Amino acid sequence: MRGGATGTADGTFQTGGIALARGYYADVVLPLLHDRWPGLPHAAARLGSGSDVLGLDDAQSRDHDWGLRLTLLVDAEAVDAVDAHLEQHLPPSCAGLPTRFATTWEPVVRQRVEVASAATFVRSRLGVDPTPGLTAADWLALTGQSVLEVTAGPVFADTDGALTRLREALTWYPDAVWRYVVAADWARLAQEAPFVGRTGQRGDDLGSRVVAARLVGVATHLAFTLARRWSPYPKWAGTVLAGLPVGPRLVPALSDVLTATDWRDRQAALAGAIDVLAQAQRDAGLPAPDGPPTEQFYDRPVLGVRNAMAEHLLATVDDPVVRALPPGVGSVEQWVDNVDVLCDADRRVRAARAHATALNSP
């Protein structure tokens, strides 16, 4: 089998899911398509869910939902026929792996080439249709993971360019929305940073740790956003963060926040991480006020984050629609942490739109 997949003497695979999908498409799926529909316009890729889409699968990943998976995008009117053709004609196995198996989201044994139109597939992940262009509200209803499920995986073929155009449209936020999202993370840091010290001052070390862990999550999201990178779901956030340009400086600082046994050391480590993020903001070409990003919180011996970090950035937003958005709220993944909402595209978009309506009501 081609595509970088290698087999062992017993026919099992020693390869990652991307190489597996590439070989499966080239050696099995594409010939079946050509035999039935020569020249059929289509795109083939490994998209959607799964650690292999991010290139992060390993031997442990293979205990569920891993195997001969592929995304095949065709014209809407051809979807049902192509799916039925593959279900009927795919061989039972390929290089020691079954072509039909159950998954956690669909406990039915069937072939796992996901056949859809490009627009339908993308909407199933985003919850919105990017074809006519996304509004500011649409952008804020996306999560980084939902975009990565469209843009992160490799494309093996795109004969009409439809998938490529959709992926290019999702490269990154418009500039004004980007600034708004970055400012929201700074506002979140400013709101709770003093609690790391205040709880510790009261002898509540657990409370200090809980707040610090929340702020590490915010700082991690901010690091991805400053780097113009979509953040993956939390399981892989640390792994991917370590590979960002800011990673060598930020990861040790955030680790120190989480491992500190004294609240004073904890807030000092947090201040160091915030310094790194402020410099990353300047390196990204975004404005930041002069001076350090942290300061003493009133007369208390605890750390605060300067409100100017968010305010200075919001002052540079020139889109009137974005300027009218409530400061500090940001994208849906900045104010929702419920997995059942964030992982359901339609539910997530409904929540984001209902929230926006409530905020704009008189």
What is the per-residue pLDDT across 25-47, written as a single tens digit (0 to 9) for each?
Answer: 999 999 999 999 999 999 999 99
Q: Is the pLDDT of residue 12 over 80?
A: no
Q: Tens of pLDDT along 294-339?
A: 999 999 999 999 999 999 999 999 999 999 999 999 999 999 999 9
Q: Tens of pLDDT along 93-147?
A: 997 899 999 999 999 999 999 999 999 999 999 999 998 899 999 999 999 999 9
The residue with tokens 């039909």 is 100
Q: Which of 298, 302, 278 is nearest to 289 (CA)?
A: 278
The strand pair at 110-111 and 113-116 is best described as unpaired
Question: CA 129, CA 121: separation in Å to the nearest integer?
Answer: 10
End-to-end CA distance of the chain: 62
Instruction: Return the domain boundaries, the chain.
Output: 17-169, 175-328
Q: Is the pLDDT of residue 3 over 50?
A: no
Q: Is the pLDDT of residue 9 over 60?
A: no
Question: CA 93, CA 70: separation in Å to the nearest integer?
Answer: 15
Q: Is the pLDDT of residue 5 over 50?
A: no
Q: Is the pLDDT of residue 6 over 50?
A: no
Q: What is the CA radius of gyration of the chain?
A: 23
Q: Which residues pair with 111 in a beta bridge?
A: 100
pLDDT score, position 4: 44
pLDDT score, position 10: 38
Predicted TM-score (pTM) of the model is 0.92
The residue with tokens 């702020």 is 215
Q: Which two tokens stand for residue 139?
A: 């952008």
Q: Is the pLDDT of residue 281 over 50?
A: yes
CA dihedral 43, 45, 48, 51 (to 10 degrees): 180
